[in-house]
Amino acid sequence: MASAEVVADARVWRKRLGAGWRQAGHLAAAGLHALEHHVGRLAEDHANAHRLATACGVDPATVETNMVLVPGVDAPAVVAAARERGVLLGAVSPRTLRLVTHLDVDDAATASAAAELSRLLLR
C-alpha cells in the first residue's frame, strides 16, 4: 500500500508521460491501427530513440521504448531553442525533456534532431 504522497506523485507523472487523456476510445483506435499495420517498425522507433538518447548524453540502455527522458536540463530553454532549429520535443518538468519517436520520425529526421540536440545539450 502506497502513501497518499506517493500516489499523488505517481498521478502527476502519469499525466506528464501522456496518460491523462480522457478520449480513451480514440487512443485505443490508434493503438489498434498501430498493432495491425506498424508492429514491424517498432524496432526502428526503438533504434531511433537510442540514437536520440546517445546524442543527448543519456545511456541508451536505460531507454526501453520509443520515449527518451533527458533529466537535468533547463527544459523550457531547450524546448524553445530546439523548436527554432526545427526539432519538436516536450518538457515533463522544468528540468526534464521528453522525446518520442514514431511513424512520422524517419532516420533522416532522427539524424537531424540528434545533431541539433547534441549541439544544444553537449556544448
**Looking at residue 123, what is its pLDDT?**
63
Whole-prediction pTM value?
A: 0.75
- Residue 73 per-residue DSSP state: S
Give me the residue spans of the domains in the chain: 1-37, 40-121
Predicted confidence band of residue 21 (pLDDT cuts 50, 70, 90): low
Distance CA 93, CA 75 (A): 7
Beta bridge partners of 100: 67
Fold assignment, 40-121? Aspartate Aminotransferase, domain 1 (3.90.1150)
**CB crowding 76-104: b at 16 or more within 10 Å, else e:** eebbebbeeeebebebbeeeebbbbbeee
User: What pLDDT, in 10s, does the model give residues 68-103?
Assistant: 999 999 999 999 999 999 999 999 999 999 999 998
User: Quick check: 32 and 51 in contact, CB under 8 A?
Assistant: no
With a pLDDT cut of 90, the percent of the chain lying above it is 69
